[in-house]
Amino acid sequence: MTTIRFLFILGLLGLCSCSRAPSLPPLSPDAVVLAFGDSITFGTGALPGESYPAVLEGLIGRRVVNAGVPGETTAEGRLRLLSWLDEQSPALLLLCLGGNDFLQHRDVSQTDENLRAMVGFARERGVPVVLIAVPRFGFGLQVPKLYGKIAGDSGIPLEQEALQKILSTASLKSDPIHPNAAGYRILAESVARLLGAAGAL
């Protein structure tokens, strides 16, 4: 019985080690973090200093560049990302795109392909990526499975709960599709926790 219990515990430890969340390299104090996305990254619905990149900068003590463009789709972001990576030489990319694809009923396979391409652009330059999932409006708010699949296939950290919770709570929104200052702070805090858990901080 003791031997069986011992083997069972060893098996559980093996499962835990295999399912460990993806890690990130530590961010140096002078590291630049590139927050890339659409209006949610830009901070629509709040003052500039209340956007999630601005709040995150204060939380993690590193420079966070806000590269959010309202209304942008993943296809447009794919065209824009390379120049930002080359110009900023970030130590980390926070990628938060897809919402406008869903609102415009774009082909999900194209959204998937574009996000994968952007992850690839960063990794080719040695830039780690954190993917931030955007929920899709329908019968309630659901996070499309493509985010989990991309993160799993790429071995990158995924924040998939914050925006779903924020956009499901009226008091955290400035309009039906954007957080307010309180909502952006929650998103920033969630990303900061993920960075800490992944070893970046």
Q: Which amino acid is at 48?
A: P
Q: How many domains in the chain?
A: 1
pLDDT digits (tens, 9 = 90+) for 115-153: 999 999 999 999 999 999 999 987 678 999 999 999 999
What is the CATH classification number for the domain harbouring 106?
A: 3.40.50.1110
Q: How many Å apart are CA 130 and CA 196, to the nearest integer?
A: 12
Q: What percent of the chain has pLDDT over 70?
A: 89
Decide if pLDDT at 10 tops 70.
no
| Residues with Cβ within 8 Å of residue 22, at least 6 apart in sequence | 151, 155, 156, 157, 198
For 200, half-sphere exposure in the C-beta direction (CA atoms, 13 angstrom radius) is 30
pLDDT grade for 27, boundaries at 50, 70 and 90: very high
Q: Tell me whether residue 4 is in a domain.
A: no
pLDDT grade for 82, boundaries at 50, 70 and 90: very high
pLDDT digits (tens, 9 = 90+) for 161-176: 999 999 999 999 999 9
Domain that holds residue 39: 32-198
Q: How many Å apart are CA 108 and CA 136, to the nearest integer?
A: 11
pLDDT digits (tens, 9 = 90+) for 49-66: 999 999 999 999 999 999
Q: Which amino acid is at 9?
A: I
Q: Tell me whether residue 110 is in a domain.
A: yes
Q: Tell me whether residue 11 is in a domain.
A: no
Q: Tell me whether residue 19 is in a domain.
A: no
Q: Tell me whether residue 8 is in a domain.
A: no
Q: How many Å apart are CA 167 and CA 39, to the nearest integer?
A: 14
Q: Tell me whether residue 87 is in a domain.
A: yes
Decide if pLDDT at 12 tops 90.
no
Q: Tell me whether residue 186 is in a domain.
A: yes
Q: Tell me whether residue 67 is in a domain.
A: yes
Decide if pLDDT at 74 tops 70.
yes
